[in-house]
Amino acid sequence: MFARSLRIAVAMGFALLLASCSVFFGRSIDRPLVYYVRNVTVMADARIPLDLIESVDRRVSAAIAATRPPAGAERVVLLVKIDRLGFGEGARRRLAQADFTVTAVSVETGEPVAKGSFRVNGPTDDPRWARQALAEEVAARIRFAFSLTTPRVRKTLPQRTISTRLASEPPPVIVPNARAETPRAAPVVQQAAPQNSSVGTMPETAVPPPPREMAAPPVADVQTPRPAAPAQPARRAADIGHGTPVEQGAVGTIRLRPDCDPTVTPDCSASP
């Protein structure tokens, strides 16, 4: 009977010890929750580095943007509070460690619908990447707890170059560490200054060459054939009567006043 009571007391003490540990470290979210997460806010006191807060906020915001909203899920916003930043114990004494609390608050009512406390350890002790690696661990724990999608890393492809060289041509030979030769300037010939002389000399001017006559191309004389006049039959003297015109081709003068000629004597009147 006593042994049975002792076993019950030990079991109750062990249960109380586990309960005290859970109260001390906070309640954790063991299974993923499904909510329509709209936004996230990361808070911490002045002892937490600002770059760690910004890194966690940026990673969780990217996960929210990449997650497809579940149908019929309650809309919530996440409040992340980093409580402590330090180092682990034992084998992890050189690795960074962070304790943080995540609270999901309903958008409609403003009441908290889920809350969990977490502890994560950094995967490296390199001071160059320790904070970024710890921020990724915090964001990964939040993504798992609220069923958020891990954002895809964008791959940067190298820029394609266009070459006009044919495939059959050999590749160009590139000499490493070769200095590019700079073009040499043409030597400048300095002219000696003219000596001072008592007799002033006029500057010589270049005499232009005399103009040359350009030979015209030969032109061939082309004689245009003249149409021959048709031969007129000779007229007999008997056919020419009074009042007929003068014979074609002859020049005649008719004098109306035989005493003077108007073309010769200026005082002669042209009228009869």
Mean pLDDT of 27-34: 67
**Greatest mean pLDDT among 89-93, 152-156, 187-191, 239-243:** 89-93
Distance CA 140, CA 102 (A): 13
Please, which pLDDT band fits residue 23 given cuts at 50, 70 and 90?
very low
Residue 22's pLDDT is: 45
Instruction: Give the pLDDT score at 268.
Output: 67
Separation between Cα atoms, residue 174 and residue 178, nearest integer Å: 9
**pLDDT confidence tier of residue 272, bands split at 50, 70 and 90:** low
Q: Which residue has the tokens 């109306």?
A: 256
pLDDT at 171: 76
| Phi, psi of 40, rounded to the nearest 5 degrees | -140, 145
d(CA 114, CA 187): 86
- C-alpha 58/C-alpha 42 separation (Å) is 10
Confidence at residue 60, expressed as pLDDT on a 0 to 100 scale: 95
CA atoms of 171 and 44, how far apart (whole Å):
59
- The CATH architecture annotation of domain 32-145 reads 3-Layer(aba) Sandwich (3.40)
Quick one: pLDDT band at residue 239, thresholds 50, 70, 90? low
Handedness of CA 245, 247, 252, 258 (dihedral sign): negative
- Please name the residues in contact with 96: beta carbons below 8 A apart, sequence gap of 6 or more: 85, 86, 87, 88, 121, 122, 125, 130, 131, 133, 134
- Domain borders along the chain are 32-145
pLDDT number for residue 63? 94
98 has a pLDDT exceeding 90: yes
* pLDDT band, residue 182 (cuts 50/70/90): low
The answer to whether 39 and 59 are in contact (CB under 8 A) is: no
- The pLDDT value given to residue 25: 42
Residue 18 pLDDT > 90: no
